[in-house]
Structure 1
């Protein structure tokens, strides 16, 4: 039996990003606004077509070409025999046509010889069955043999292209998702991770509540990765599963930093290092990395998604870009979309045509939210393989632009025009700054809540997104932040369903409010400590003084239940979650329950502390109108005016430009001030429409 060598994984804390913001700005010239690129896979095409394709990429207006992502088999066709001559020719073609290059390390797709000769380099699933080659992302990232191979190919690439002035940066891997791995190498790495975190087996037993159901361990050697496949969903230990998620995310972060460290030994400081996380990121935690310059994201808003109105399924889900564009900026201060689909996909339950202009809408959404990169997957629609039906910017004939390609060309032409209008150091208007809002979110709370939702009607991912959409509908600039972020620069901070807290975090919230901040805390916040344990005391004990109330009980209704709450004679419906609040004498009641046996009990309260206020929203309403009305009230009390944009319409301010986007199925007339100068689009926004103006 082959011996496995354990890789030591460090437990990462959430990483600060403020110090990185200035560092990453050197990679992108402010005056360029956004840099556009396209994925190209020369290994898929006859070499006789390469120059034609590269020339076409340049003619369409792209600025860089994304290469080598899945080409390990071509760079290392046999173990330890490398061949980069073909890639040299492609890079040289890009240089000839004045295109920059973004290279990708190929670790997501191992060559067949590795699986044949070294099967241990692949993950095991929850039934302890080895994965096979033939797809991507199933390598055991903690396996030492696999890492040896990765180190060699990455070093060879970096030595060859690390000082090439036409290479602007590197993407590590592809859509790193922290795939659960139950292989022997992972079991050993997990035990090492636990030893590093807990030091003693007694500490682990306490953290995991191992006294329950006789799960007690006598040594770390007895511990195995918790496995819902073999124990059953109900029987699994939630604290052990939480640690497995943390370990997997730490392993993924360590693997990315491992590759970044190899690159740094060879590459120019002018070349950035990033990766492309999925927009809905629930396995990896980008904030755990230390050596990436910034985090980019993959966005696929389409794919059998019903959005708003009869045309919504052709416009895609705005939430995808909406949340990702803000969340990933919290890693390195900047972000952008590394992979966006230019047409129908192949994986939806149905895959409709997009409304013409939709791809342009998505691109402008990423731009409006501050994106520095807009890259599309991919140039040519492939003729074979698993993604035959995955559209490209060029159709299957290899020369004709698709509708998405036309959208992309229009976007790039318009960005070139906007660059001429750019004025550096333009400051945000005071009316926008007065609404500045932050949403605190981390993936660990997602892991914890989603394991024990208590009701199938709770949507763990969607809940913070609803607050983001609501704040945007009121015209607020919104950041998605992490715990280390300075709160003082925000007028309003929203803490949605932040289940696990500690005393230091609660003190930070209290200090923010005391100094004049407006804090919104919602149900399911502070119900557990960082281990996922309840407090030995009242529910949400650490924040009771902060919110000025006690959480007496919690209720949930059936899917056909009809809960009613009342605020200022206005009725709102709910059925998912309801905290029953007992306010202190100094706390004002904002909302009460209007039916059920606890009619008259408080559902939302406000508590004044120092110069600021804490609003606790204990109920999750069906249409979120209550939350919107409460948020509008808080902005008003903070001295800010608000807008009232309908669902699907988003307005951003960036670098002196206002951008309005329409994901709805109806026309929307933008209320422009007399001083507005329209640069792109029209005042009447059609579905998929974009309007850009300056004031």
Structure 2
């Protein structure tokens, strides 16, 4: 367990560097991330390299016992590059260039970008390959899909489509281009999705998304090969952005040593992890990318105003500590804060740093941060080597995510990212751990319960795998809008849930996009009434048994939720979007039936997770509210902070953290 920060020596007079390194060492920061936005400082003119400043910064950090993660600077190409190589500009859907001035302003399919990226990364790798301070590399910064429409992308997309389909006849059939007279008779007619119309062929749009994902992975691979060649023994990772981007991060992280993620949550109540926002979901997703522990490459150091949005509430006392321990509780082995020193200029100049802008020696934030660093460093020996071992898997698919963005099912509803977090929240409130795993994972049988919201796209291979999982004794939860389309993003010619109908034991006779009117209700098998929104599948069971029924409208009395016995397992089908209370009721029953470990009677707003090592386990309890919460301990425990704790009530102050284990340390 270690603590680090993002640091930008190029922003500051060199007189600060020694002072900052000394302060970092003093409070327990042991890693800094450098250089990911400094291409113009390292190469001010083409093939003119000036690394002397970076050499001095690295050496200062090293003298103070601080190790370095170097970032490749390819997210922010310098002005001389963009002027000389205009083919690197991203063209929007109206073929207008996105001009420089903000990072990420480059097309990853640009040959010029590839050429100059190889040069700068090669220069860095050769120079710092054997420097003892360098422990690893971060490639680029927060990759995103540009969905560019430049000539390079158009050419590469045609080649990608030709390799996939081999002929226009196959392509036309797969995409259903006969609709609206969209058939191609020559490859030259195939363009990128220009014009920005949502009504463009959805199969075509999804394949363009797949192409851009592969382009991103190929661009990353250029850098990976250079770093692996010159820097053996040094790790290589990337920092994904936690906001809902439909990127194939699973493929992106496949060749990397571990997943890195940036994790920002706000202190305003509607975005606390206790809400549907549920920041914990992203941490579980980061762990699921490679199904192992991960690093936080950036997380909050404070709040302020920046180019990314208006001013927000500052962190209340304890919130920073809660966030950093939450990251560790969900599988982070290193937590790095953004940023050490608040910038004085540029777009993010009002973003808060640990040190703030006035270089105050003892701000509340710095005092709290010093406490956190001390705790993490002190407990490192106990927590090193621990991992999470959960019995519940939530499916995630970037392709389904994108397909539902291409064709929103209803206004302001059926948002894939929100429904994922909402289901995750139900388990979080139950005090049970979940993994967020790519739906093509080959480890299905290592879980007792798989929850698969909105399996919008479906194929025979996935049905076969799910059927095998359930037949062998697993429990599967399906929802509305499942089995609607094939993998080409075309509607299946069968009643929903399409290929999943047999294992679900039902068909969807009719559906109603009920929206947010708040008038629709469902009665559960215990007689309680729950509100539903967005969607209502009117279910016709074949072998499934109803366990909840609609309570009003013309489909009153019809099945809303069912369970189907299949082999040794069960398949639940949730036909509507419920309020959280019903999901907690249903999932609580399923979890208890499967004898899955959970923390009972967890107060609302308290997060619980367990890290294990051999026979030892550590229970993390984090209060993400501004109120005191009480947990009743059923037996005496040992607190890593306070020592022995007796059986009975345990009080957690606002944003309080506790780490418990059996016995003593």
TM-score by length of 1: 0.89
The answer to whether structure 1 residue 248 and structure 2 residue 212 are counterparts is yes
The answer to whether structure 1 residue 336 and structure 2 residue 300 are counterparts is no
Do 1:177 and 1:284's aligned partners in 2 also have CA atoms closer than 8 Å? yes
1:287 matched residue in structure 2: 250
Pair 95,491 (structure 1): closer, same or farther in 2 beyond 3 Å: same
The answer to whether structure 1 residue 602 and structure 2 residue 559 are counterparts is yes
2:404 matched residue in structure 1: 449
1:155 matched residue in structure 2: 122
The answer to whether structure 1 residue 133 and structure 2 residue 100 are counterparts is yes
Of 395, 398, 411, the residue aligned with 2:359 is: 398
Write out per-residue CA displacement over residues 480-517 of structure 1, whole angstroms, 9 at most, x where no aligned residue: 11222312221111111121121111111111111111
Do 2:404 and 2:415's aligned partners in 1 also have CA atoms closer than 8 Å? no
Question: Which 10-residue stretch deviates more, 105-114 or 242-251?
Answer: 242-251
Name the SS for the 2:97 alignment partner. coil
The Cα of 1:647 is off from its aligned counterpart by 3.6
Write out per-residue CA displacement over residues 163-194 of structure 1, whole angstroms, 9 at most, x where no aligned residue: 22321110011110112211111111111221
The answer to whether structure 1 residue 93 and structure 2 residue 56 are counterparts is no
The alignment covers a number of residue pairs equal to 644
Equivalence map 1:12-31=2 (5 Å)? none
Of 338, 343, 349, the residue aligned with 1:388 is: 349
Do 1:303 and 1:349's aligned partners in 2 also have CA atoms closer than 8 Å? no
Counterpart CA distance in 2 for 1:536 and 1:123 is 38
1:580 matched residue in structure 2: 538
Pair 304,101 (structure 1): closer, same or farther in 2 beyond 3 Å: same
The answer to whether structure 1 residue 358 and structure 2 residue 319 are counterparts is yes
Counterpart CA distance in 1 for 2:269 and 2:151 is 39
Question: Which 10-residue stretch deviates more, 673-682 or 370-379?
Answer: 673-682
Of 515, 536, 540, the residue aligned with 2:493 is: 536
1:114 matched residue in structure 2: 81
Counterpart CA distance in 2 for 1:630 and 1:228 is 45
2:658 matched residue in structure 1: 691
The Cα of 1:666 is off from its aligned counterpart by 2.5
The answer to whether structure 1 residue 371 and structure 2 residue 329 are counterparts is no
Counterpart CA distance in 1 for 2:441 and 2:416 is 23
Equivalence map 1:187-586=2 (5 Å)? 187-229=154-196, 232-233=197-198, 235-269=199-233, 271-289=234-252, 290-302=254-266, 306-307=270-271, 319=277, 321-332=279-290, 333-346=292-305, 347-400=308-361, 402-422=363-383, 436-456=391-411, 457-482=413-438, 483-567=440-524, 568-584=526-542, 586=543
Do 2:74 and 2:117's aligned partners in 1 also have CA atoms closer than 8 Å? yes
Name the SS for the 2:19 alignment partner. helix
Counterpart CA distance in 2 for 1:657 and 1:161 is 38
Of 592, 595, 598, the residue aligned with 2:549 is: 592
The Cα of 1:530 is off from its aligned counterpart by 0.6
Do 2:276 and 2:421's aligned partners in 1 also have CA atoms closer than 8 Å? no
Counterpart CA distance in 2 for 1:145 and 1:535 is 42
1:27 matched residue in structure 2: none
Counterpart CA distance in 2 for 1:381 and 1:317 is 29
Do 1:302 and 1:317's aligned partners in 2 also have CA atoms closer than 8 Å? no
Name the SS for the 2:371 alignment partner. helix
Name the SS for the 1:591 alignment partner. strand
2:586 matched residue in structure 1: 630
Name the SS for the 1:256 alignment partner. helix
Counterpart CA distance in 1 for 2:597 and 2:57 is 54
The answer to whether structure 1 residue 175 and structure 2 residue 142 are counterparts is yes
The Cα of 1:408 is off from its aligned counterpart by 2.5
Pair 337,221 (structure 1): closer, same or farther in 2 beyond 3 Å: same
Do 1:502 and 1:529's aligned partners in 2 also have CA atoms closer than 8 Å? yes
Do 1:249 and 1:285's aligned partners in 2 also have CA atoms closer than 8 Å? yes
Counterpart CA distance in 2 for 1:244 and 1:316 is 36
Counterpart CA distance in 1 for 2:81 and 2:518 is 56
Question: Which 10-residue stretch deviates more, 39-48 or 279-288?
Answer: 279-288
Name the SS for the 2:633 alignment partner. coil
- Structure 1: unaligned runs, 5 residues or longer: 1-33
The Cα of 1:422 is off from its aligned counterpart by 4.6
Pair 245,405 (structure 1): closer, same or farther in 2 beyond 3 Å: farther
The Cα of 1:686 is off from its aligned counterpart by 2.3
Do 1:342 and 1:405's aligned partners in 2 also have CA atoms closer than 8 Å? no
Do 2:539 and 2:558's aligned partners in 1 also have CA atoms closer than 8 Å? yes
Write out per-residue CA displacement over residues 462-483 of structure 1, whole angstroms, 9 at most, x where no aligned residue: 1011111111222222111122
Question: Which 10-residue stretch deviates more, 67-76 or 644-653?
Answer: 644-653
Counterpart CA distance in 2 for 1:292 and 1:220 is 35
Do 1:61 and 1:409's aligned partners in 2 also have CA atoms closer than 8 Å? yes
The Cα of 1:624 is off from its aligned counterpart by 2.0
The Cα of 1:227 is off from its aligned counterpart by 2.7
The higher relative CO (CA closer than 8 Å, separation ≥ 6) is in 1
Could you say what the CA RMSD is over the residues aligned between the two structures, in angstroms?
2.0
Do 2:34 and 2:71's aligned partners in 1 also have CA atoms closer than 8 Å? yes
The Cα of 1:214 is off from its aligned counterpart by 0.5
The Cα of 1:423 is off from its aligned counterpart by 8.3
Pair 212,276 (structure 1): closer, same or farther in 2 beyond 3 Å: same
The answer to whether structure 1 residue 663 and structure 2 residue 618 are counterparts is no
Name the SS for the 1:197 alignment partner. helix
Name the SS for the 2:98 alignment partner. coil
Counterpart CA distance in 2 for 1:173 and 1:320 is 27
Write out per-residue CA displacement over residues 640-663 of structure 1, whole angstroms, 9 at most, x where no aligned residue: 464243442110111321111122
Name the SS for the 1:135 alignment partner. coil
Write out per-residue CA displacement over residues 226-274 of structure 1, whole angstroms, 9 at most, x where no aligned residue: 1343xx32x31111111121112221122112211111110022x1111
The structure in which a higher percent of residues are strand is: 2
